[in-house]
Structure 1
Amino acid sequence: MASADTIDTLLDELEAFGLANDAEHAERASRMLNITRDTGELLAVLVHARGARRVLEIGTSNGYSTLWLARAARSLGGSVVTVEKAQDKFDMAHANFARAQLQGVVKQLLADAGDVLRDAADGAYDFIFLDSARQQYALWWPQLDRALAAGGVLVVDNASSHYADMAPFLDAIRADSRYTACLATVGKGEFIAVKSGN
């Protein structure tokens, strides 16, 4: 098992790499588009608070956010399924997970998130983190809702910076009486919704 120092060192490296890489590349496909450090800290706190052992991440990129989720889930005896469509980012993340010795904790899927959600069992996940194709979220909503267990937590990145891209999706969640939601002014805005246990 990787030490906390090893994962912290890797997080520092990936944070610096992501910032430098994204400053050099304008094309979205070439950018890492990583979450901010304070967002990672928030995700870890939320995983612990929920006691989440079955975590789904949609949008792996180079694995920076996954490391935050996986370290928290591992401490609870849990695991993370992370979904990425781009082969180059999938491969980069795979190498990073090997360095962090998280192969038994993280399951990578090179797939379309819509397909993964469609195939998920009802209540398959305690915690879902969305950081992907924002325009697809509203289409995915019925399957996201079905895959999220009662008492589960849904976190959506970029909820302030790209609110217009996902407003119908966020509005649908707010209108659902089974969910309690808020917008946390952390990073680029984290929309947090908790599904009732009933």
Structure 2
Amino acid sequence: MSLEQLLKNLEQLGLDNDDAQSERSKKYLNITRDTGEFLAVLIKATDAKTVLEVGTSNGYSTLWLTSSLPDGGHVFTIENNSRKIDEASENFRKAELDSKITQLDGDVVDLLSKLSPNIDFIFLDADRSQYLAIAKQLFGLLKEGGLLVCDNAVSHKEELEEFNAWIADQSNLSTSLVPVGKGELLVYKDRSTRSLS
């Protein structure tokens, strides 16, 4: 199966599943196709080689990220729902991209503490109530000149207010809100020596 066909299948599966499910944990809550295309262009434009994704779900967004990487590029993706981890693993195998992806299963705070810094690109699409608690860790991992993209920046603006306020207080972070999909907040880490507060 081609990557394009797999992506189309997962898009339809996501829509059908999420319409049928009332329990949030059973929904995929995937990004929109235009968000996937946007992320793919950003990965290429920033020449990212090491990507961290927080929130794998069934791997739809991971496939967009991974398929845009150069040879030798790698994605680390965090998820704590075992059913979604298994589904994502199967989708990565189908896309023949599994060798470029490391799935991390567990608590995001613990997992972030074990990752090496100087990550080129971070995609944040998980439990928004945790973002403020992990903000310092995330931007500590992101290299200077790196980019973090946060999904749902328009659709769930209120839930991101404290996280956005923290970012605004950091003198070495520059932002832009892009009205693609459910709203993408781009956060660039300036090349400076000032530490995060």
TM-score range (shorter-chain normalised) is over 0.9
Shift in Å at residue 145 of structure 1? Answer: 1.2
Indicate which of 91, 94, 98 corresponds to 1:99. Answer: 94
In structure 1, distance between residues paired with 2:37 and 2:72: 19
Comparing 75-84 with 23-32, which one deviates more in the overlay? 75-84
CA change 1:76–1:50 in 2 (3 A) is farther
Q: CA deviation at 1:27?
A: 0.9
Alignment-derived partner of residue 13 in structure 1: 9
In structure 1, the residue corresponding to 2:117 is in which secondary structure?
Answer: coil
The 2-side partners of 1:76 and 1:38 are apart by 24
Superimposed CA distance per residue, residues 92-145 of structure 1 (whole angstroms, 9 cap, x where no aligned partner): 00000000011211111112111111222332x100001101010000011011
Contact 1:48–1:76 at 8 Å: present in 2 too? no
* Residue from 8, 25, 30 that aligns with 2:26: 30
Q: Which residue of 1 aligns with 2:131?
A: 137
1:181–1:192 Cα contact (<8 Å) kept:
yes
From 103, 110, 117, the counterpart of 1:115: 110
**In structure 1, the residue corresponding to 2:123 is in which secondary structure?**
strand
Q: What is the CA distance between 1:166 and its match in structure 2?
A: 1.4
For the residues of structure 2 that align with 1:24 and 1:162, how far apart are their CA atoms? Answer: 22
Are 2:76 and 1:81 aligned? yes
1:161–1:188 CA contact under 8 A, matched in 2: yes
Residue identity in the other structure for 1:91: D
Q: Which runs of 5+ in 2 are unaligned?
A: 193-197
**Corresponding residue for residue 65 of structure 2:** 69
Q: Identity, % of aligned pairs?
A: 45
Q: Indicate the RMSD between aligned Cα atoms, in angstroms.
A: 1.1
